[in-house]
């Protein structure tokens, strides 16, 4: 099983990385870029095969470690493969 955990900044939190990316893309001639946000994807390989149970555990992992909920949101995607 795999879990994909997407972690991004909450709306309203200034994203210096995203801003710099947007600006550098503009500088490189990509004027169509209005803004950019940078987030993380963490791909976990998990033992077991109960997707629902595993997802509940991944939520726990996010709350305990993977996301800093003061500034970040997360979203989980489970895959059977």
Q: Which parts of this chain interact with a copy of itself (CB under 8 A)?
A: 6, 8, 18, 21-22, 24-25, 28, 30, 32-48, 54, 57, 60-61, 64-66
Minimum distance of a copy of itself from residue 27's CB (angstroms): 10
Q: Segment contacting another protein (CB under 8 A): 6-14, 46-54, 55-63?
A: 6-14
Minimum distance of a copy of itself from residue 37's CB (angstroms): 4
Burial class of residue 35, CB neighbours in 10 A (0-12, 13-18, 19+): exposed
**Residue 16 interaction partner, one of a copy of itself, another protein, none, beta carbon < 5-8 Å per kind:** another protein
- Determine which helix (DSSP H) or strand (DSSP E) holds 17, and give its type and residue range: helix 16-27
Stated length of the chain: 81
Residue 4 token pair: 């994909």
């Amino acid at each position: 099983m795999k879990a994909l955990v997407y972690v991004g900044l909450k709306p309203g939190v200034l994203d210096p990385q995203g801003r710099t990316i947007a600006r550098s893309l503009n500088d490189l001639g990509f004027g169509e870029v209005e803004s950019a946000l940078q987030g993380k994807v963490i791909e976990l390989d998990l033992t077991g095969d109960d997707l629902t149970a595993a997802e509940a555990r991944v939520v726990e992992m996010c709350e305990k470690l993977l996301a800093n909920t003061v500034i970040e949101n997360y979203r989980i995607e489970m895959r059977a493969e």
